[in-house]
Amino acid sequence: MTEKKPRQKAVSAIAAVTAAAIAPVTDDIIAAAIADESVPLSGVRVLSKPYLRTTALLCTADIFRNFFFLQYRAAFLPGFIPVSKTYHTLDDRIPFTPGKVNTYLDFVAFWIRTIGFLLRTCGRGAFEPVRNFLETMGGLYAWAAMVYRKNLSTTDRPFYIKHPRFLLIHIVDPHLMCIPSLHVMIVIRTYTLFMDIIKTLGEETRFAAQAEELYQGALDITEAVLYVKQHSVNCISAALYAMTRFDPRLFPSGEAERFVSAIFSGQDEDGAVDSRDGDEIRKHILSLYYRFLTQGETAKGREDWTLPLLIFLKESPALG
């Protein structure tokens, strides 16, 4: 099981208390926390259901085509797509923190556990929402690839292999798809879609603690991508903008503001980011997010959501 971070530990405890309070003693369906779900078992639950199997396989194909294949093709055949370096001086205020790697790498398991939880606790009632969840996750990769196919991006990522999981990162990720950050897009989509699903199913009260757990987990992973230097603060703004354009109903600007206000604002056991630096980082992320939104409201921007990000990338230094 992935190690829980301080936010997640606290929310997991709340989830356990809530579950005990709302469920009869004989009810073993309620989970204390989504983080306790088994990722392999969640995958089995999906693939064992014919109604979900094809959608899951198509989702997997979208992920490999729009992330791994596209990125490795660019790495082995350089020059066909321009590569920009995204950097801000605020990145230097966030220390490289190898201990955050497990949280960072949890971003895929994060959404797989969520659909496993829905299937286990809601049964057949969750089939259609989970099917839509799988479709939208594959669609998210295709959405981000609309930028990647026109302009790739990278950051100054340290070559650190003392921890074996960093070796895995260097092997499987050529680090050419930074804007927008798919890591952040995925975790935002997971918590917002989960809240929408439980509202539709009439389970908001029953799963309120789990919804909060996912929100806090999304914040932990967002911070982690900055701590392990997979992304710049600029990449976070781009991801927020991409999610507002992807689904303005579930991630309007108000929700983006709420999310940004919590980044580096909690108690971190490492105490890595100074409170004043945190204020400046949040201010910059939100300012750039609104810059992208404003550019996206022009006639050309409304027609092509990628335009503000491509303008930003063309203004950034080219790799090499």
What pLDDT digit, counting tens, does each position of 129-188 carry? 999 999 999 999 999 999 999 999 999 888 887 888 888 888 888 889 999 999 999 999
Each domain of the chain, given as residue ranges in start order, spans 9-315
Q: In this structure, what are the phi and psi dihedrals at residue 150, rounded to the nearest 5 degrees? A: -105, -35
Q: Can you read off the two tokens belonging to residue 223?
A: 């911070």
Cα(213)–Cα(207) distance, integer angstroms: 10
94-118 pLDDT, tens digit per residue, is: 999 999 999 999 999 999 999 999 9
> What is the reported pTM?
0.89
Q: Looking at the predicted structure, is the pLDDT value of residue 268 above 90?
A: no
Contacting residues for 256 by C-beta, under 8 A, at least 6 apart: 240, 243, 244, 286, 289
In this prediction, residue 158 carries a pLDDT of: 84
**CB contact at 8 A, 154 and 175:** yes
Reported as a pLDDT band with limits 50, 70 and 90, residue 36 is: very high
Cα gap 255→215, rounded to integer Å: 11
Amino acid at 284: H
Please tell me whether residue 318 adopts helix, strand or coil conformation.
strand
Contacts of 61 (CB under 8 A, 6+ apart): 138
Which residues of the chain form beta strands (DSSP E)?
83-85, 152-154
pLDDT band at 31 (very low <50, low <70, confident <90, very high): low
Axis crossing angle, helix 50-63 with helix 127-148, rounded to the nearest 10: 10
Q: How many CB atoms lie within 10 A of CB 134?
A: 23
- Annotate 148-210 with DSSP letters as a single string: HTT-EEE-------SSHHHHHHHHH--S-B-SS-HHHHHHHHHHHHHHHHHHHTT-TTTTHHH
